[in-house]
Amino acid sequence: MADFDGKRGLVLGVANKRSIAWAIAKRLADGGASLAFTYQGERIEAGVRELAGTVDSPLVTECDVRSDDDVARVVAEVGEAFGGELDLLVHSVAFAAAEDLAGRFTDTPRERFWMALDVSAYSLVAVARAAEPLLAAAGGGSILTMTYLGGERAVPHYNVMGVAKAALDSSVQYLAWDLGQKNIRVNAISAGPVRTLAARSIAGFPTMEAIVEERAPLRRHISADDVGAAAAFLLSDDARNVTGTTLYVDSGYHAMGM
């Protein structure tokens, strides 16, 4: 297990114990990291606070990633909690309206198109920009986000979320270039289908699972814990020369032509 003793991290996107973000956080905490958490809305606040309590989190705070002011406030709170420094940043935030993950991509209205890109892609840019001084003060750090194959290929019903993931993928590369001179690494994990709260909103999700099991080289599904293990590598010093990269954790499905 990677050693994160003394490392300080901010995790965005935990919704419940089945969240990929929680699997990553648990792996970091088990390695000795101290973690701050954000949540979105009162509906999940209690659950996030309960989970954060199990890893002795020093900070749990609400964050609306569509507000630059809110992002700045959160990062300021993180700075206060961690002595002005930050080593790790986990971005596992995405959203699209449920109706836009069921019908045709062509019918996505303009306002919901921009909402999906704002929450799912631009939020990484906003958070990275705000956290840059804290990461630089620590001598560098690692940023990790979550993407999906639907940003590279058309996946039925993934629709506008796929377009948002494509923007996210490109943002990872440009952020890696901008922040690399300060020893800040930026990477992504492209995970196969995992039964999370967000996955339930995608029409035909069981079909996606079945196709992966049938056609992936390893012929099996992945779990959130698999993603947590891969994330631990990318966030650790073992990956000190890995940046601008997407690591696939999908039983090899991405390598197949059909």
- The C-alpha torsion from 234 through 240 and 241 to 242, rounded to 10°, is 10
Q: In this structure, how many other beta carbons lie within 10 angstroms of the beta carbon of residue 80?
A: 11
Residues 6 or more apart from 139 whose CB is under 8 A from it?
183
Distance CA 96, CA 144 (A): 21
Q: How many CA atoms lie within 13 A of 113 on its CB side?
A: 8
Task: Tell me, yes or no, if 253 is annotated catalytic.
Answer: no
For the chain, the distance separating the N- and C-terminal CA atoms, rounded to the nearest angstrom, is 35
**Catalytic pick among 39, 122, 148, 253:** 148
**Alpha-carbon distance values, 96 to 58, 68, 107, 126, 197 (Å):** 31, 20, 14, 18, 13
**Catalytic pick among 122, 158, 174, 253:** 158
Q: Which tokens in the block code for residue 4?
A: 């994160």
Distance CA 164, CA 118 (A): 8
Task: Tell me, yes or no, if 158 is annotated catalytic.
Answer: yes
Which amino acid is located at 224 in the chain? A
Q: In this structure, how many other beta carbons lie within 10 angstroms of the beta carbon of residue 140?
A: 17
Q: Are 8 and 137 in contact (CB under 8 A)?
A: no
Q: Are 72 and 140 in contact (CB under 8 A)?
A: no
By annotation, the residues acting in catalysis are 148, 158
